[in-house]
A and B are shown apart, each in its own frame.
Chain A
Amino acid sequence: MPSERMSDEKRSVQFSRRKFLAGSGATVAASLAGCFGGGAGSSGSDSVKIGFVLPFSGTYSFLGESIVNGVKLRLDEQLDGEIDGRSVEYVRKDTGADPATGASITQEFLQSENVDFIVGPVSSAVAGAMKPEIASSGSAIWLNANAGNYKLVQDNCTKYHFRTSFNTWQTSAPLASYINDNIADNVVLSYANYTFGQQSKNLFREEFENVGGTVVDEIGAPLGTSDYSSFLQEIENSGADAVFSFFAGSDAVNYIKQFSSFGLNGKMTQTGSGFLLSADTLQAQGTAALGMYSLLHYTPTKQTDRNQAFVDAYSGQYDTTPNVYACQGYDSALAAELAVTEAGGTETDPMVSSLAGAELDSPRGYFKFKSSTHDPVMDMDIRQVVEADGGVQNEVVETLTQVEGPTWGCDL
């Protein structure tokens, strides 16, 4: 029931906040000690410091909190707050999804807090602003837990960047052959007109045309549109048999609900990048989303032992099922764990070498950091929305194994 879930979420937020506040006293003391004691380099040789550059207020706050939950599940609950004998410290600051704030927080974390790892951000725009700082500093490893813009790797790729999330190619293009083979050979594209949406539809289009399909039309709507009626008219008028879309958050909810209410669900098959139909939007989309396909690297209902263990642990800790953001957080923690353990310390360059080409035991399935780009090579799930007790959920229809994607000229 929605209210239970609502209070679940709230409880999980309160829980993590309480835990953080308990820990923050120690953190503040530690950082102050660092200041007054003329703090040498990294925060002491026997601790690992992780800085969260994430949104904790506004539209994306739920995503930010989910990522933190994922990290803490691994490091606090499963590893008792230690990696290889070193205690783990956290600092967190709210980006509010503003790139300028993200850049300044990153500066602070690198120069003043001396973090070893930076986990975040949620928004690709913030990531773009963070990148120059992290690249020139070289004192911390960046575990990119959600920003998928492929240009982060294409333009001046930096070895300190490790993506524990995905890139926009992976969440769009691989669906092309599946659609062409199983659903329709002609599609119309609809998307939110900003970088993420544009990239997704462009990359999908390229791949779809490569495999012999036809793109009938492209319809872009301004980001934040709440009423898609006219755009849906255009989509219907295109006469295509299937739609590939990119929308996220409240846009995704509005789009899908209205798509269904106009009866388009019966006329065309709706598909899209996973964020269109993900755990955080499905509850609101409800039965309007039934039968729709999406592509994402993490599905909570995936029936593998590894995932089940993760889902059980997460639900036990936070009273709610994990989502893709939590998984990305969890994998970031796995990466930090691996880096420190293998490198025998928190020196950045040895950690970079340990992580490049390394595999993680991720709940999502296969996961490996590609040596040349530090982007993930991972399994992608094609899911379909089905009924489940009390609502709807994604069911994995097919898993594409070890999906890589282009290197865009990056060779680290």
Chain B
Amino acid sequence: MSVRDLVGRHFSARQQSDVLSGRVRVGLFVAGVVAILFAPFAQAVHPFWMDLATHMFIFALFALSLDFVFGYAGLLSFGHAAMFGAGGYAAALLIQNATASALVVLPVAVLVGAAIAALIGWLSVSARGIYFAMLTLAFAQLFYTVAFNDIPAMLLGLEAVTNGDNGLVGITSLTLFGVDTGSLMAYYYLSLAMLGGMLALVTRLANSPFGRVMQAIRENEDRVAFIGYDVDRYKIVAFTISGGMAGLAGGLWVPFNSTATTAMLHWTTSGELIVMTLLGGMGTLWGPIAGAFLVVFLEDSLSAIGNWEIYLGIVYIVIVIFAPRGLAGIFRTVRSNPDPRVLLSKARSALATYREKVFS
């Protein structure tokens, strides 16, 4: 019995239609092991690689939260920055004024994100498709304006709460069981653990009856309603869970950068997230994680060269047109058709379809 069989048995999907097939689970397991071993390696060679990797993990978590509602339940949200930012600011205020214990700060960030999402979700749920997206955009921009003008300070009569365009700075790192997680390596493992944990949780959710209903809603909302499910409630719950995860990402992001700023709440952050999710492959859960890694890496490495927007924009547009299932889709196609000739003919037929749609 090979190692693969052994591992595969532990990670086999229960059903064919499970999210994250057996093969992918094995792949993720391997990736996880690599990630765990990477830290000491980086520490010895170039510690700052861990910083970039942590950046990737946190945004991967953020992308995962969006994929759960969008790729999975079909709810496009242009306002996920609101939950990300809210979780972040909550973490910042807690660390500054109460405690830096991760056991308190992170759950609070989750709760704040979830609460905001529940509110926005409840208010927006009756809108469909593009209208829902526009509503989330409107609400997120409202939050941005509130934070930028420090309206909480105005209302509470304090000098500063969100501190407007300067944001909150000098946020110290989290402590876990009394241990300061401020070192590169400690924060690396913390973020990795959060990402892994959330991925596992979301997979469980996705494969549960709840998840099945969500998928059904994505496919045909009316039919699900006709069967008797309270579609709105499912949507709100899904959005809330997603918001909690986004809040967690924010709660991790703030101590990592020691700042909480209004940029976290801006619609361009939501937009960046959508780029990551789409590039990675919506609905696959692991795809957006890869998408986040890619985008963070590109932005970092291209920033010295110059206008990364042009390169990223072109790549993104090409993928939307020719590979709408993103990297995950490409990977899947390559995997199930290892013969390069088959791949070539697939590519050619894709081009032919394109030509037909455009020129006919």
Chain A residues proximal to chain B, CB less than 8 Å = 17, 24, 35-36, 56-57, 92-94, 96, 98-100, 103-104, 107-108, 111-112, 124-125, 128-129, 131-133, 149, 193-195, 223
B68 near A: Cβ within 8 Å? no
Known contacts A107-B51, A112-B48; A128 and B149 CB within 8 A of each other: no
Within 8 Å by CB of A57, from B51, B258, B309, lies B309
Interface stretch, picked from B32-40, B165-173, B198-206, is: B165-173
Could you tell me if A112 and B259 are in contact, using CB atoms closer than 8 angstroms? no
- The interface bits of chain B over 251-279 (1 if a CB of A lies within 8 angstroms of the residue's CB, else 0) are 00100111101011000000000000000
A112: chain B residues at CB < 8 Å are: 46-48, 51
- State in angstroms the CA–CA spacing of A236 and B256 once bound together: 48
B126 near A: Cβ within 8 Å? no
B window 140-172: CB within 8 A of A: 148-149, 164-167, 169-170
A104: chain B residues at CB < 8 Å are: 51, 55, 256-257
User: In the complex, what's the smallest C-beta–C-beta distance from B92 to chain A, in angstroms?
Assistant: 11
Known: A36-B45, A129-B169. 4 other contacts (CB 8 A): A24-B304, A112-B47, A124-B166, A132-B170
A133: chain B residues at CB < 8 Å are: 258
CB-based closest 5 A-B pairs = A112-B48, A132-B170, A94-B303, A100-B257, A129-B259
- State in angstroms the CA–CA spacing of A17 and B307 once bound together: 12
- State in angstroms the CA–CA spacing of A195 and B253 once bound together: 24
A131: chain B residues at CB < 8 Å are: 169-170
Within 8 Å by CB of B166, from A35, A36, A195, lies A195
B257: chain A residues at CB < 8 Å are: 99-100, 103-104, 129
B306 near A: Cβ within 8 Å? yes
Within 8 Å by CB of B263, from A17, A24, A100, lies A100
Could you tell me if A103 and B51 are in contact, using CB atoms closer than 8 angstroms? no
B308: chain A residues at CB < 8 Å are: 57
Q: List 13 A-B contacts (CB under 8 A).
A: A24-B304, A56-B306, A92-B304, A93-B303, A98-B261, A103-B257, A104-B51, A108-B48, A112-B46, A125-B165, A133-B258, A194-B165, A223-B148
A24: chain B residues at CB < 8 Å are: 304
Residue from A24, A112, A131 having most chain B Cβ neighbours under 10 A: A112
B253: chain A residues at CB < 8 Å are: 100
Could you tell me if A57 and B261 are in contact, using CB atoms closer than 8 angstroms? no
A98: chain B residues at CB < 8 Å are: 261, 263
> In which size bucket is the chain B interface?
20 to 34
Residue from A96, A125, A193 having most chain B Cβ neighbours under 10 A: A125
Could you tell me if A125 and B306 are in contact, using CB atoms closer than 8 angstroms? no
B51: chain A residues at CB < 8 Å are: 104, 107-108, 112
Could you tell me if B165 and A195 are in contact, using CB atoms closer than 8 angstroms? yes
- State in angstroms the CA–CA spacing of A57 and B311 once bound together: 14
Chain B residues proximal to chain A, CB less than 8 Å = 45-48, 51, 55, 148-149, 164-167, 169-170, 253, 256-259, 261, 263-264, 303-304, 306-309
Could you tell me if A57 and B259 are in contact, using CB atoms closer than 8 angstroms? no
For the complex, would chain A's binding face be called helix, strand, loop or mixed by DSSP majority? helix
- A112's nearest neighbour on chain B, judged by CB, is B48
Known contacts A194-B164, A194-B165; A99 and B259 CB within 8 A of each other: yes
Could you tell me if A129 and B167 are in contact, using CB atoms closer than 8 angstroms? yes
Within 8 Å by CB of A149, from B45, B48, B166, B307, lies B166
User: In the complex, what's the smallest C-beta–C-beta distance from A50 to chain B, in angstroms?
Assistant: 15
Within 8 Å by CB of A100, from B148, B259, B309, lies B259
- B170's nearest neighbour on chain A, judged by CB, is A132
Could you tell me if B46 and A35 are in contact, using CB atoms closer than 8 angstroms? yes
Could you tell me if A99 and B167 are in contact, using CB atoms closer than 8 angstroms? yes
- State in angstroms the CA–CA spacing of A3 and B280 once bound together: 41
A57: chain B residues at CB < 8 Å are: 303, 306-309
- A132's nearest neighbour on chain B, judged by CB, is B170
Could you tell me if B261 and A100 are in contact, using CB atoms closer than 8 angstroms? yes
- A94's nearest neighbour on chain B, judged by CB, is B303
Within 8 Å by CB of A35, from B45, B263, B304, B306, lies B45
- State in angstroms the CA–CA spacing of A103 and B51 once bound together: 12
Could you tell me if B261 and A129 are in contact, using CB atoms closer than 8 angstroms? yes
User: In the complex, what's the smallest C-beta–C-beta distance from B268 to chain A, in angstroms?
Assistant: 10
A194: chain B residues at CB < 8 Å are: 148, 164-165
Could you tell me if B306 and A132 are in contact, using CB atoms closer than 8 angstroms? no
User: In the complex, what's the smallest C-beta–C-beta distance from B191 to chain A, in angstroms?
Assistant: 14
Could you tell me if A56 and B303 are in contact, using CB atoms closer than 8 angstroms? yes
Could you tell me if B304 and A223 are in contact, using CB atoms closer than 8 angstroms? no
User: In the complex, what's the smallest C-beta–C-beta distance from A191 to chain B, in angstroms?
Assistant: 13
- State in angstroms the CA–CA spacing of A94 and B304 once bound together: 7
Could you tell me if A125 and B167 are in contact, using CB atoms closer than 8 angstroms? yes
- State in angstroms the CA–CA spacing of A149 and B308 once bound together: 30
- State in angstroms the CA–CA spacing of A250 and B36 once bound together: 48
B149: chain A residues at CB < 8 Å are: 193
A108: chain B residues at CB < 8 Å are: 48, 51
Could you tell me if B304 and A125 are in contact, using CB atoms closer than 8 angstroms? no
- State in angstroms the CA–CA spacing of A93 and B305 once bound together: 10
- B171's nearest neighbour on chain A, judged by CB, is A132
A107: chain B residues at CB < 8 Å are: 51
B167: chain A residues at CB < 8 Å are: 99, 125, 128-129
- A131's nearest neighbour on chain B, judged by CB, is B169
User: In the complex, what's the smallest C-beta–C-beta distance from A236 to chain B, in angstroms?
Assistant: 25
- State in angstroms the CA–CA spacing of A128 and B259 once bound together: 9
- State in angstroms the CA–CA spacing of A24 and B301 once bound together: 13
- State in angstroms the CA–CA spacing of A259 and B253 once bound together: 43
Known contacts A112-B47, A195-B166; A17 and B259 CB within 8 A of each other: no
B261: chain A residues at CB < 8 Å are: 98-100, 125, 129
User: In the complex, what's the smallest C-beta–C-beta distance from A61 to chain B, in angstroms?
Assistant: 9
Could you tell me if B259 and A103 are in contact, using CB atoms closer than 8 angstroms? yes
User: In the complex, what's the smallest C-beta–C-beta distance from B103 to chain A, in angstroms?
Assistant: 24
Known contacts A57-B303, A112-B48; A103 and B258 CB within 8 A of each other: yes
